[in-house]
Amino acid sequence: MIEKIQYPDEFLKEENIASNINILWGKAIPILQHRKQLYDRYTRKNDTSDVIVALEFYISTIASGYFGGKEPQYKVKKINETQKGIIQKVFEKMFGDKNNPDEFQTIIDYITKYNDNGSFFYDCVKDYINTGACYGLVYENKDNEVVYAHTSSLTTVAIWNYQTPSQKIGLLRYWTENSNNGGLTIHLELITKDYKKHYISGIETTTINKDTEIKFKEQESESKSILWNDLPVFAVENPDGLALFENVITLIKKHEQVIKNNANIFQYNDEAKLKVTGYEPNEPILIQLKDEEGNIKYDENQNPIMVQNPNRIKEEKTVLNAKVFYTPDGTGDIDWVIKNINDTASENHKKTCLDLALMISGVPNVTDQRFYKRR
């Protein structure tokens, strides 16, 4: 069970984080490794199976295009005088007198204009579908513009507190650098509502897993205070830690197995053996191995070494290529030894696995003609 990272607010306090950063990294590693496994299922780049039908890629592509094809539109709602009066009566405070909705709308339009809103939203949707999480960073650039940037869920994890509902209290990012000695140096960036800190591993490593012992040291010269009075990050994590296709991986494997089984049968039949009855070859299948002087060669147990008879191979090729084959009596026959396949049952099984995988994922089969007829 991949759970989200939760700690009390005090865990990330600046006076406590020096002793807690290694604990935090240890909690993040299994989550990030699980997401890496999911992403590998999505790409299938490192899969060495004989048959690969990347339904994970299909499911993610269709769902990402559907959910992330058009970025959200933001519009500030104006409150009329009647609504203002009700709010004032219920909550005993004025609303909307000092805040002009048109000003807010202008600011929002300006921010979304210089940010690549569509690309950011699509990248977040794609990450969430493939790994069950997505993240973004919010910062102010040198021109005092508010910028939000996507950060990969393969290298990022959020930290939550125990409130109901739980609130984000931090964001942890990591990256690696190749060292001159051929190892890896791990960098961590921790962001809270109060600070941003940079840590670096003191010991180089060649692998990154939960058993790797790493001690992180803060790069104090790169520490910064956060002046937003809030955590400047965007984070969405699936409560169950699931990718969209994760529950149907077994069905995808079954679908591939049916195709592989059929391919194996076709391969077997393509290289089928010829069965001949009523005919006895003239040459034996095995003969004794002899040296250049014609002496029989023996193994360590003094048994004659037997090898395939080249004359038998020639005889079998002659029989196989003959235009007419004769048997000594009327009981002889010649035929191929093949495996029969129930094509209808095989195709139905394959289609069932495909339909169930797409149904459980909530993704339509856009190649099915019935899909277009229903539309």
pLDDT at 211: 64
Q: Which residues contact 193 (CB under 8 A, 6 or more apart)?
A: 169, 226, 228, 229, 230, 231, 232
Report whether 33 contacts 209 (CB < 8 A).
yes
DSSP label at residue 115: T
Alpha helical stretches, state H, the chain:
17-43, 55-68, 81-91, 101-114, 117-131, 249-270, 310-321, 343-361, 369-374
DSSP label at residue 248: G
Q: Which of 25, 228, 42 is nearest to 146 (CA)?
A: 228
pLDDT at 371: 54
pLDDT digits (tens, 9 = 90+) for 91-113: 666 665 666 777 777 766 767 77
CA–CA gap between residue 124 and residue 57 (Å, rounded): 16
Q: Which two tokens stand for residue 200?
A: 């670096």
How distant, in Å, are the alpha carbons of 76, 105, 278, 284 from that of 320?
A: 83, 83, 15, 17
CA–CA gap between residue 43 and residue 38 (Å, rounded): 9
CA–CA gap between residue 134 and residue 171 (Å, rounded): 12
Q: Which two tokens stand for residue 280?
A: 């006895």
pLDDT at 374: 55
pLDDT at 152: 95
Model-level pTM greater than 0.95?
no
User: What is the mean pLDDT, run by run of 10 residues, along the chain of 375 residues?
Assistant: 84 93 92 93 88 90 81 71 73 64 70 74 92 90 82 95 92 88 86 93 69 80 83 90 91 92 86 79 90 90 92 87 72 81 88 91 76 54
Contacts for 195-198 with beta carbons within 8 Å, 24 or more apart?
Answer: 195/14, 195/223, 195/224, 195/225, 195/226, 196/223, 196/224, 196/225, 196/226, 197/17, 197/222, 197/223, 198/222, 198/223
pLDDT at 98: 61
Residue 267: strand, helix, or coil: helix
Residue 177: strand, helix, or coil: strand
Between strands 5-6 and 156-160, the pairing is parallel
Convert 62-92 to b/e letters by CB count within 10 Å (16 or more is b): bbbeebbeebeeeebeeeeeeeeeeeeeeee
Strand partners, 170: 159
Q: How far apart are the first and last CA of the chain?
A: 39
291 phi, psi to nearest 5 deg: -85, -175
CA–CA gap between residue 224 and residue 219 (Å, rounded): 11
